[in-house]
Amino acid sequence: MPSKIWIDGRLVDKADAKVSVYDHGLLYGDGIFEGIRAYNGKIFECEAHLDRFLQSAKGIRLTLPMSREQLRAAMEETIKGNGFTDCYIRLVATRGVGSLGLSPVRCERPSVFIIADLLELYPREMYEKGMAVITASTIRNHPNAMPPRVKSLNYLNNILAKLEAIDAGVSEAIMLNHEGNVAECTADNIFIVRSGQLQTPQTCDGILEGVTRRVILELAAKLQVPAVEKTLQKHDLYVADECFLTGTGAEVIPVTKIDGRVIGTGQVGTVTRKLLEAYHRRVKEG
């Protein structure tokens, strides 16, 4: 468990890490975050995460009070301050303390805080045998309402779909976009394999451009696994030979059942296993 939290320029005891009830991140979900992993004391895909964090800030017109280099140094300080080598990092920026009312101009200075902690989203058994998921009735936010490419603090859309998964007795839910096509899961990107080809929804299908998703596409190219980003429908999922999810927290986890339908043989597929093993090698390499 973490003992120190980095908040607005310094490490403080966890018990003393507090935000104001007038912080617009709390009041209105006005802020952004990144979920990041550290392995063997090194931040995994640090530059890619910082790229997305800075792009999210620009997307919501939030001027960060820290440079890219300062953000990286603060994350490293948080890891070391808690004595971790392998951990999950949550980097958060809020609009800051303001007054009641939506206007962000009333917030004088954004707030930044960083948590380093241990995280295990799913039981180890699921990585060997696969997991069951459902398709949620809650759709992904329309790109012109709240762009899914912005990793914002407002996750109610995802939480409502997650509740559907919990009600169904499974760990994850697939979300469709406003056109009824496959977008992503509540916290993970989705891949399928059909006739040896790796397929995943496009950016324009309403997804967050996952860092782990990009790593998997790069690994597929190295392993000469044909891969394509394309629009997928539920039918494509149901008739897939294999399926798996990717995310910083989840890493790479196989899916063997969707909406009660067995995917492929019901076992973890060969392409999935090959990419999962390649991902673990990539993590060890840093």
Catalytic residues: 151
The encoded tokens of residue 7 equal: 């908040």
Per-residue HEC secondary structure of 85-150 comes to CCEEEEEEEECCECCCCCCHHHCCCCEEEEEEECCCCCCHHHHHHCEEEEECCCCCCCCCCCCCCC
User: Running DSSP on this structure, what letter comes out for residue 205?
Assistant: G
Q: Of 227, 190, 224, 195, whose CA–CA distance to 207 is shortest? A: 190
Ordered DSSP codes for 208-233: ---HHHHHHHHHHHHTT--EEE----
Distance CA 8, CA 28 (A): 20
Element (H, E) at 236: helix 234-238
Where does residue 278 fall: left (phi above 0), alpha (psi -120 to 50 degrees), or beta otherwise? Answer: alpha
Contact 5/12 with Cβ under 8 angstroms? yes
Distance CA 148, CA 202 (A): 12
The gap from C-alpha 108 to its chain's centroid, in whole angstroms, comes to 29
Taking each continuous run of H as one helix and of E as one strand, the counts in the chain are: 8, 15
